[in-house]
Amino acid sequence: MTQDIILANADLVLETEVLRGALVIRDGLIAAIEPGRAVPSGAVDCEGDLIAPGLVELHTDNLERHMFPRPKVEWPHAAAIAAHDAELAGCGITTVFDALRLGTTMTSTRGEHPPHARQLADEILSMRAAGALRISHHLHLRAEICSQTLGEELAEFGPEDRVGIVSLMDHTPGQRQFTDLSKLSDYMRGKHGMSEADFDAHVEDMRELSARLGPAHEAAAVAAARSFGAALASHDDSTAGQVAASLAHGVAMAEFPTTAEAARACCEAGIAVIMGAPNLVRGGSHSGNVAARDLAEAGWLDILSSDYVPAALLQAAWQLGDIWGDRARGIATVTSAPARAAGLGDRGKLAPGLRADVIRIHPEQRLPLLREVRVRGARVA
């Protein structure tokens, strides 16, 4: 018989409340929740630490950081995937949608890495099938509308890949994330060493590309999401008009709306609003867009994403709990809310019958410190 794992005398973070009790894990699933402070024989005494569901990450660029650690350096993919997987596990993330960019952009002033999404997806899926990864990995295809190759790259995927999310990305200069071209200039000239003339040529090239291929690419990405059975996400909405277009496409979640106007329109349309955890932790957007805290205080924030800092996810959820005066509500933005948006009904909550993906948190000076991370009951960090 399988021996139960019992995490006792813990503050259990349920979806709408925090309850002192014990969590019983059996055969990789949550078997029971037992209220009270008792510590049965053989149980782990959590000494008042919090037990919460494992974090669910819908959009992270972290894998790219491991693949391309320096300019013109491409790290072996299997090693990069394993390092990415271990880092996320160490941050309490037990389910991740790895964001893979589709759509290469080549302009007269800027080159890109060649298309790699199909190859990288194959490597992730192969490592997942072999049991080589600590946490649960899913595919998130970032469909870059302003590109040359999106249609061809989308055609390389099918329903058999079980793609979970397709996001509509449009980085045409002068709109969405970089409505203010001076902000885009600072970013591009700083990251790519462009001269002022190079930047002007880049903007012209990108705008021409968007006008020529953008509408067809957007339609292809929406159709692909439907054929995959994937949730559809918008990205960097800045106006109510863009939100209305998202709603017409069947968008379920809005990644990083850049204005309060767009976030409010999303909430009114029933589209879940995702904001970056680094935005909240830093106290504002690095691109000069709307602050996540402002949306939280207005009630227009549903889900957090670590984006480019995996460790920010738990820290930001903790901060939301302080802002709202509701620890369970803050944790739900990184557990049950993203799981629900992505259609994962088997995780994201502490409830009998669900996956025993759980984390143990020790609150230290208002900062959540991870003590252990379990996936299907097995300790991975």
pLDDT in tens, 169-190: 887 665 766 666 666 666 665 5
pLDDT cut 90: percent of the chain above it:
75
The burial of 27, by beta-carbon neighbours within 10 Å (0-12 exposed, 13-18 middle, 19 or more buried), is given as exposed
Residues 342, 165: contact at Cβ < 8 Å? yes
Lowest mean pLDDT among 92-96, 287-291, 297-301: 287-291
| Model pLDDT for residues 307-339, shown as the tens digit of each residue | 999 999 999 999 999 999 999 999 999 999 999
Contacts of the segment 242-249: beta carbons below 8 A, 24+ positions apart: 242/176, 243/269, 243/271, 244/269, 246/168, 246/271, 247/271, 249/168, 249/222
Please report which confidence band the pLDDT of residue 287 belongs to, taking 50, 70 and 90 as the band edges. confident
Residue ranges in the chain assigned as alpha helix (H): 62-67, 77-90, 117-129, 150-154, 181-192, 196-228, 240-249, 260-269, 277-282, 292-298, 312-324, 327-332, 336-341
- Which pLDDT value is given to residue 353? 98
DSSP 254-313: EE--SSHHHHHHHHHHTPEEEEEHHHHHHTS-TTS---HHHHHHHT---EEE-BT-TTHH
Structural domains in the chain?
1-53+349-381 (2.30.40.10), 55-346 (3.20.20.140)
pLDDT tens digits for range 89-131: 999 999 999 999 998 776 555 555 567 899 999 999 999 999 9
| pTM for the model | 0.90
Quick: pLDDT tens for 23-49: 999 999 999 999 999 999 999 999 999
